[in-house]
Structure 1
Amino acid sequence: MKVMQLLPELNSGGVERGTLEIAKALIQQGHESLVVSNGGRMVAQLEAEGSTHLTLPIHKKSLSSLWQIRPLRQLIQQHRPDIVHVRSRVPAWLTHFALKGIPASQRPHLISTVHGFYSINRYSAIMTQAEKVIAVSDSVVQYITEHYKNCPPQDIVRIYRGIDSKAFPHGYQPSVQWIQQTLKDFPQLEHKFLLCLPGRITRLKGHETLIELIQQLHTQFPYLHAIVVGGADPKKAAYLDELQRNIQSRGLEHQITFVGHRSDIREWLAYSDVVLSLSNQAETFGRTALEALSVGTPVIGWKRGGVAEILSSVYPQGLIPVDDQAELIHVVQHHIEQPQHVAPITQFSLQDMCDQTLTLYQRIVSSS
């Protein structure tokens, strides 16, 4: 098979990682893999693993993106993929118009993946208008069936995102050199109970909840320290400043450390004592929570979305009723006083995700 995946850019994030994982699986099984995006820092890895990257500016939510319809149509006609797999709304709309200009007998099959709880409108509906619509969790299946009645339930295929347990092995510990370097860079972390909030600096990730939590607990547990692992996009610099002013006004600057964008997320998750998932909107899946549990670090998070599905399956004692600050404090307290054990995880594997996706591709191609 020849499969063309489309997404806005290849910098960081779950959509991008999932694209690379499927691309790699296609190559390993002897298929051809093409990825169309505006480029980014993950292109080198994609190409090193055997895929072809085709650069096209399909990332902007603006009318100027319509100029990319014809170049995209030419790419599809030139490469003649069996399947076009769209993973985001702008690329999905451009693909929709590009395919209209190709004779029906020559069009590739169209698959979409709904990675997010998008705003409910005509613009988002394009993600549910494909031959098969992959939903990344049961929460996403429910979102589609409730809000997009034109999408037949039999066309929705739930394929959980997955992680490579060899990349996040149970009981993993960072190297001595990593720990030494980290304590050199951040000496304030030594001999502390570390609460980790991973994720980009945005209003969605629950940083205010973390600050409130530390405010409530730091007197009782002076060795408690929070680390925020994730960078701030230049557009979010004002929000980062706002957070830091909030922390200083409460006198918590010695209790909370921002470590910025990191490529060593596995080490930070393993080095932490507890990982938090406090997003103020439901996560469609919750890959970082799963990665933390995979290495054996307890995760405490709100009972909603994909994170709740993961925790319900593998670490139910980490589930907190949504926005119940008192229960959050209580459960974190319990984890500090009585460190918890996380059993090895067998569900949500990368192998399962890749196998199920490639099986779906083959089923669609062979049906024609």
Structure 2
Amino acid sequence: MKVVQVLPSLDGGGVERGTLEIAKGLVDAGHESIVISAGGRMVPQLEREGSRHRQWDLGRKSPLTFLHIRAVRRWLQREKPDILHLRSRLPAWICWLAWKGLPADQRPRLVTTVHGLYSVNRYSAIMCRGERVIAVSETVRDYVVNNYPQTDTETIRVIYRGVDPDEFPGGFRPSDDWLAGWYQCYPRLQGQRVLTLPGRLTRLKGHHDFIDLIKGLRASGFPVQGLIVGGEDPKRRAYAAEIRERIVRESLDECLVLTGARQDIREIFAVSDLVLSLSTKPESFGRTVVEALTLGVPVVGYDHGGVGEVLRQLYPQGRVPLGDAGALLAAVRNRLEQPQPRPRNDIFLLSDMVAQTLSCYRELVD
């Protein structure tokens, strides 16, 4: 098969990582893989792993982007891919209009992936127009069925995002060099119980709930340290300042650390006693939850959306009702006070995600 995946850019993120994982899976299985994007820091890895990259900015939010439709159509006629896989809304509109303008016998088979719980409107509806619509969780499948009833449910395939257990092995311990550097940077974390909240500094990630949790634990005799791991959103700097100001105002700067964006989340999870997922808005999946549990690190999170779905299957004792501060405090104290069996992940695996996606492609090509 020749498969083309399309997304806005390759600068990093969950959609981008999944694109590279499928691209590598295609190449490893002897297929031809092409990715269209505006480029980014992940392109060298993509090409090193055997895919071709076609640099095309189809995600720029401008009416001028629609001028690419004819060029995309001509390119599809030249390349003759078997599968066109669309992973983001604006590039999906450009490619769908190009695809629709081809003679029916010249069209590649069309696959879309619904990665998020997008705002419900005509613009987002394009992600449900594939001949196969991949939902990254049952939460996303329900979102599609409930909000886009014109979508034929027979076309929907639930394919969970997956984690490579070789990359996140159970019981993983960071190298001595990493540990030395980490504790040199954050010496007060050494020998302490560490709770970690991953996620960019945006209001929906539940940072205020996390601060309340740390306050409550320390007030009840648990001298924990809290880590907030994530970069600032350039559009929401005022919120990041609000979080920092609250930490200082409430004299929590000795027990709460903001690390900023980090590339070593595996190591950070491995030195954490507990990982939290406190998004106030339901998420489509919850990859960080799966990564932590795959390492064997317990997770406590709000029981809704994709995070609740993951916890129900891998670590049900980690679920707490959305926004229930008392239940959250009790669940975390219980995890800290009582030794728990190490979590394990045998459901959300990268190998399964790749195999099921390639199977979805073959359904259409065959």
Structural mapping, 1:57-136, within 5 Å: 57-136=57-136
Number of aligned residue pairs: give it: 366
Residues of 2 paired with 1:295 and 1:253: CA distance? Answer: 29
CA offset digits 1:283-328 (Å, max 9, x no partner): 1111110010001100000111111111111111100011111100
Give the conservation status (yes or no) of the 8 Å contact 1:315–1:342: no
Query: What is the match of residue 313 of structure 1?
Result: 313
Residues of 1 paired with 2:75 and 2:221: CA distance? Answer: 59
Residues of 2 paired with 1:353 and 1:314: CA distance? Answer: 17
Query: What is the match of residue 2 of structure 2?
Result: 2
Query: What is the match of residue 28 of structure 1?
Result: 28
Query: What is the match of residue 333 of structure 1?
Result: 333
Residues of 1 paired with 2:248 and 2:76: CA distance? Answer: 54
CA offset digits 1:119-173 (Å, max 9, x no partner): 1111111100110100011111111111101101101111111111111111111
State the TM-score, normalizing by the size of structure 2: 0.97
Structural mapping, 1:84-233, within 5 Å: 84-221=84-221, 223-233=223-233
Return the letter of the residue paired with 1:14.
G
Q: Does 1:290 align with 2:296?
A: no
Residues of 1 paired with 2:78 and 2:261: CA distance? Answer: 38
State the TM-score, normalizing by the size of structure 1: 0.96
State the Cα RMSD in Å. 1.3
Give the conservation status (yes or no) of the 8 Å contact 1:298–1:341: no
Residues of 2 paired with 1:143 and 1:101: CA distance? Answer: 29
How many angstroms does 1:222 deviate by?
A: 5.5
Q: Does 1:360 align with 2:360?
A: yes
Give the conservation status (yes or no) of the 8 Å contact 1:215–1:250: no
Residues of 2 paired with 1:231 and 1:196: CA distance? Answer: 14
Return the letter of the residue paired with 1:96.
W
How many angstroms does 1:230 deviate by?
A: 1.5
Query: What is the match of residue 253 of structure 1?
Result: 253
Give the conservation status (yes or no) of the 8 Å contact 1:191–1:223: no
Give the conservation status (yes or no) of the 8 Å contact 2:217–2:223: no
Give the conservation status (yes or no) of the 8 Å contact 2:298–2:343: no
What secondary structure does 2:219 align onto? coil
Residues of 2 paired with 1:320 and 1:222: CA distance? Answer: 20
* Higher mean C-alpha displacement, 198-207 vs 353-362: 198-207
**Identity across the alignment (%):** 48
* Higher mean C-alpha displacement, 180-189 vs 342-351: 342-351
Residues of 2 paired with 1:71 and 1:233: CA distance? Answer: 34
Give the conservation status (yes or no) of the 8 Å contact 1:9–1:38: yes
Structure 1 unmatched runs, 5+: none
